[in-house]
Amino acid sequence: MTMILFLFLAFIIGTPIAFSLGLVSLGGVVISGFPPMVVIQRMFTGADSIALIAIPLFMFAGELMFQGGMSKRLVNFADTLIGHFPSGLAMVSILACMFFAAITGSAIAATAAIGGIMIPLMKEKGYENTFSAPLLACGGSIGPIIPPSIPLLLYGVMANVSVGKLFIGGFVPGVLMGLGLMIYSYYVGKKRNYKGRETKAPTGEILKSAKDAFLALLMPVIIIGGIMSGKFTATESGAIAVFYAIVVGMFVYRELKLENMFQVLVNCAKSTGQVLIVVAFASLFTWIITVNQIPQQISAYLSSAISSKIMLLLVINIILLIAGTFIDTTSALVIFAPLFIPLVTAFDVDLIHFGLIMAVNLTIGMCTPPLGVCLFVSGSIAKVSLKEQMRDLLPMVGILIAILLIITYIPQTVLFLPNLLD
């Protein structure tokens, strides 16, 4: 337990997550009397996984799609569908985030790509930036829930469960999150007189925008359809996504240029490196706490203090919601999954269900202060401070927490679609 306390102390004093994990784990190795070579072995083993190859592939595909003009076409299509409603542009933003989530699986990418287009447009139409910035941050948080999803992929590797089933299980929670935010946007739009486009788009315009966005919308169908049918694995789907994005962006939309490719690769390498160094150190951390039976100690303590599955999931939700406010999603996932999986297994909680509970929990943290990385992305685009965003942020986060409770205590919201694969 001392290792856990030192880990959170390192977080509090501002030590980067990866180095916090590494230093605490190194101390545990030394104190436990293991040879130093164990450090390198466990870090290499943690990162040496075929399933993890999907991480750089999906990140690369996401960069290619953004540069290739897919986000712009998705926004245009969403606008023709629902842009005429009160607060139409806000609802378009959320729907576009949901479309983009089905392509990239990244909260930051969705917030930056859709926010960069919609926030200036919403300001031009009279929307307050203090409303649009938190809305895009919360909309971006849907990115890691609707498949493909990097956090779910990591969880699948750690929990040794089907990544395909996790991906499929993310559909309903992701759609519920989007619908909740769209309903709130509609309510606020009626109250503040936020408007969208003047008239409903004619059928011809809808069909034209659908045609323009068709290839972008087709990609998640290919990926998820291939996984569900067993034609290819989640890792192979990442390679297919990259190939598809290059062909469409370069030869169909013709917005992806060779001269941009180097910067795309650099951005992908940086993002991948940040994730995998955390994974490598987390593998060492997980090994050393397992050797010292820390998960078993925590499980025994909580099992003695908690007698029901309902109370257990409530306590875990509270812990993860708090942790998500100051630890990024990947780091929190690799820290808490090994601690909680033995416990929820003992209480007969389905691990696919629990994976979605963790993912939704921790992505809510991406739009809550003080870490709230999506808030800083959208705030920088809108040029508003974190404090200025709080008025509208709080009810939006409240909606997301309500959705979290629904999927926590109604397991079929997650398990209905994955069970169809059995």
Structure tokens at 211: 């045609």
Tens place of pLDDT per residue across the chain (422 aa): 577 677 777 766 767 767 887 888 888 888 888 888 888 888 888 777 776 777 788 778 777 877 888 778 888 888 898 888 888 889 988 988 888 777 766 787 788 878 888 888 888 888 899 999 999 999 988 988 988 788 888 899 888 898 888 988 999 999 999 999 999 999 998 888 887 777 888 989 999 999 988 888 888 777 777 777 778 777 787 788 889 888 988 888 888 888 888 888 887 788 777 777 877 887 788 788 777 777 667 767 777 778 789 999 999 999 888 877 777 787 788 888 888 998 899 889 999 999 999 999 989 988 887 667 788 888 888 888 878 888 899 999 999 999 999 999 999 999 998 888 76
Distance from C-alpha of 418 to C-alpha of 173, rounded to nearest angstrom? 13
Is 225 a domain residue?
yes
Say how far apart CA 70 and CA 373 lie, in whole Å: 23
Segments forming the whole domain that contains residue 165: 49-256+292-419
In tens, the pLDDT along 321-375 reads 887 777 778 778 888 888 899 889 988 999 999 999 999 998 998 888 766 778 8
The predicted pLDDT at position 227 comes to 73
Residue 328 domain flag:
yes
Amino acid at residue number 125:
K
Question: Is 29 a domain residue?
Answer: no
Residue 283: strand, helix, or coil: helix
Instruction: Please indicate, yes or no, if residue 356 is contained in any of the structural domains.
Output: yes
pLDDT tens for 134-170 read 999 999 889 889 887 888 888 998 888 988 889 889 9
DSSP 214-236: HHHHHHHHHHHHHHHHTSS-HHH
Would you say residue 15 lies in a domain?
A: no
Residues 6+ apart with CB under 8 A from 350: 411, 415
Residue type, 1: M
**What radius of gyration, in Å, describes the C-alpha atoms of the chain?**
21
- From the list 24, 6, 109, 105, the residue with the least C-alpha distance to 286 is 24
Distance CA 215, CA 218 (A): 5
At residue 292, the 3 state secondary structure works out as coil
On whether residue 280 sits in a domain, the answer given is no
Residue 61 included in any domain: yes
Backbone angles phi, psi at 202, to 5 degrees: -65, 160
- The answer to whether position 232 is within a domain reads yes
Total domains in the fold of the chain: 1
Q: How far apart are CA 197 and CA 301, in angstroms?
A: 57
Q: Are 325 and 369 in contact (CB under 8 A)?
A: yes
**Tokens read off for 358:** 């963790």
Amino acid occupying residue 44: F
CA angle 403, 405, 411 (to 5 degrees): 95
Q: Where would I find the H helices in 125-257?
A: 129-140, 150-159, 163-169, 171-192, 203-229, 234-247
Residue 259: predicted pLDDT: 83
- What is the rounded distance in angstroms from the CA atom of residue 179 to the CA atom of residue 95? 9
